[in-house]
């Protein structure tokens, strides 16, 4: 499929700024976008990020796209990011052809038309790099890039370094657009070294792999406290994000006819098995931190769970608070325990995004989440939808202006501080 055809793929829905809710107009230009992405086509990977990307890029360039997956990184005929930025293109076009998907220096202009002040920029291409590190030894994708598991993990580390070098350069375009760069190492010392390098180069948000214990330790282990302190002291947002499964859930669980034949969107599988639990790894990571006292020891640690759906966070808080209410579970034999219910730490320290089709109003009414849930455009990904502002606003508007302002502006500032 040629580049020109990819440009016009999708529903013929035009954005109309005048159709945006009047109630949001006072906040126009102040919106906080907690999830957006780069989406460089494979044609640019080696050019933008160096020779380490060549083998990974060639893998995708050797695959043809049938046009149904607008996340597909192979865009035949692609030369550069030059689609005009307009109210129509920023909501209608998806995937690598969208304006400012590849050339991040153009992204502030896109944000201006969306009413967005600041934005977290998560990996798309970078998820491919991380996959080389954390996918199980027998995973079908990894084996096509490197034969042995050890070679693949070594290549993955090389890719992550190249990706982060690119992200450091991108961060210099504008403080309004903040790349969220992966920090991975088999050791805490390695994590500390890479985190310091990123911080010293202006990075203000990092991505941790949900399916890997950071530095080989439980996220709640005291040995990681220097890492959390480094994040806290520098106002760096620590984020988990949807991605492929990692080493906790292997694909054999989904080896059944009911789960075959679904479209792969680049970030995650969309079969019923995968979509039912793609939040599970991050939920496990977060509850380990909460119950392990990380947020008690680091009260200013900024933490986000991004693009995992939002339906799980309320029940998690309810479940954790139930166990906290039992004296037997409150203090262990070493005297360790939490002075506040677990939900206290979630509401203070954690921000969560969902998809535009979710019932945010019901989540907010059933659970006390008005300080937790945040707006996210997911630009330029397909699953971000074409009218996310309208859909999300209509869901939460009945709860009043205070909740609307928190959702679209105030809560996001925790992950996007001045």
Q: Where are the domains of the chain?
A: 3-414
Q: What's the pLDDT score for residue 72?
A: 82
Q: Taking 90 as the threshold, does the pLDDT of residue 132 lie above it?
A: no
pLDDT the model gives residue 70: 61
Position 7 confidence tier, pLDDT thresholds 50, 70, 90: very low
How far is the C-alpha of 178 from the C-alpha of 37, rounded, in Å?
10
Inter-axis angle of helices 313-324 and 342-349, to 10 degrees?
A: 140
What does residue 131 show for φ and ψ, rounded to 5 degrees? -60, -30
Mean pLDDT of the chain: 87
- Per-residue pLDDT averaged across 19-36, rounded? 89
Share of the chain above pLDDT 70, in %: 83
- Residue 106 Cα distances to 214, 217, 289, 292, 330, angstroms: 34, 39, 37, 42, 51
Tokens of 321: 């608070």
> Which residues lie closer than 8 Å to 140 by C-beta, 6 or more apart?
251
pLDDT reported for residue 239: 98
Which pLDDT score is estimated for 385? 86
Token readout for 405 is 């302002």
Confidence of residue 2 (pLDDT cuts 50, 70, 90): very low
Run of H or E residues at 344: helix 342-349
What is the pLDDT averaged over residues 208-235?
A: 95
**Burial class of residue 104 (count of CB atoms within 10 Å of its CB; 0-12, 13-18, 19+):** buried
pLDDT in tens, 43-68: 999 999 999 999 999 999 988 655 55
Check residue 292 and give its pLDDT.
Answer: 93
The CATH number for 3-414, chosen from 3.40.50.2300, 3.20.20.140, 3.40.50.620, 3.50.50.60, is 3.20.20.140
Would the pLDDT of 20 be above 80?
A: no
Which H or E run contains 57?
helix 54-61
Most confident of 123-137, 207-221, 241-255, 313-327: 207-221
Q: Coil, helix or strand for 132? A: helix
What is the per-residue pLDDT across 228-270, written as a single tens digit (0 to 9) for each?
999 999 999 999 998 755 555 555 666 677 666 665 545 556 6
Q: What is the pTM of this model?
A: 0.90
Instruction: Determine the average pLDDT of the residues in 212-233.
Output: 96
Per-residue pLDDT at 248: 56
């Amino acid at each position: 499929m040629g580049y020109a055809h990819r440009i016009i793929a999708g529903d013929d829905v035009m954005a109309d700024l005048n159709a945006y809710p009047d109630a949001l107009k006072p906040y126009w230009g102040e919106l906080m976008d907690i999830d957006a992405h780069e989406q460089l086509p494979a044609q640019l990977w080696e050019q933008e990020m160096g020779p380490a990307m060549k083998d990974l890029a060639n893998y995708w360039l050797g695959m043809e796209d049938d046009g149904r997956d607008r996340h597909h990184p192979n865009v035949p005929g692609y030369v550069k990011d030059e689609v005009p930025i307009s109210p129509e293109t920023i909501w209608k076009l998806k995937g690598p052809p969208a304006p400012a998907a590849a050339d991040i220096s153009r992204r502030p202009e896109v944000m201006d038309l969306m009413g967005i002040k600041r934005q977290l920029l998560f990996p798309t291409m970078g998820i491919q790099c991380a996959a080389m590190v954390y996918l199980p030894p027998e995973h079908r994708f990894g084996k096509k890039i490197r034969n042995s598991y050890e070679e693949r993990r070594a290549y993955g580390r090389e890719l992550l370094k190249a990706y982060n070098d690119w992200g450091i350069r991108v961060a210099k375009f504008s403080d309004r657009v903040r790349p969220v760069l992966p920090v991975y190492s088999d050791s805490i010392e390695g994590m500390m070294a890479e985190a310091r390098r990123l911080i010293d180069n202006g990075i203000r948000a990092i991505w941790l792999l949900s399916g890997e214990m950071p530095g080989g330790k439980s996220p709640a282990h005291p040995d990681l406290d220097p890492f959390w302190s480094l994040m806290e002291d520098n106002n760096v947002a620590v984020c988990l994000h949807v991605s492929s499964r990692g080493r906790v859930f292997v694909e054999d669980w989904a080896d059944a006819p009911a789960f075959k034949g679904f479209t792969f969107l680049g970030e995650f599988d969309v079969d019923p098995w995968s979509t039912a639990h793609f939040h599970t790894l991050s939920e496990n990571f977060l509850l380990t931190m909460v119950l392990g006292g990380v947020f008690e020891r680091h009260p200013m640690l900024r933490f986000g769970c991004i693009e995992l759906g939002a339906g799980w966070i309320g029940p998690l808080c309810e479940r954790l608070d139930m166990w906290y209410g039992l004296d037997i579970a409150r203090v262990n034999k070493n005297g360790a325990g939490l002075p506040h219910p677990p939900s206290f730490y979630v509401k203070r320290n954690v921000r969560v995004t969902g998809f535009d089709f979710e019932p945010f109003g019901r989540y907010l009414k059933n659970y006390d989440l008005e300080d937790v849930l945040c707006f996210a455009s997911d630009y330029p990904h397909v699953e971000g939808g074409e009218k996310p502002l309208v859909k999300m606003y209509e869901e939460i508007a009945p709860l009043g202006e205070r909740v609307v302002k928190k959702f679209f502006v105030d809560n996001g500032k925790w992950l996007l501080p001045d």
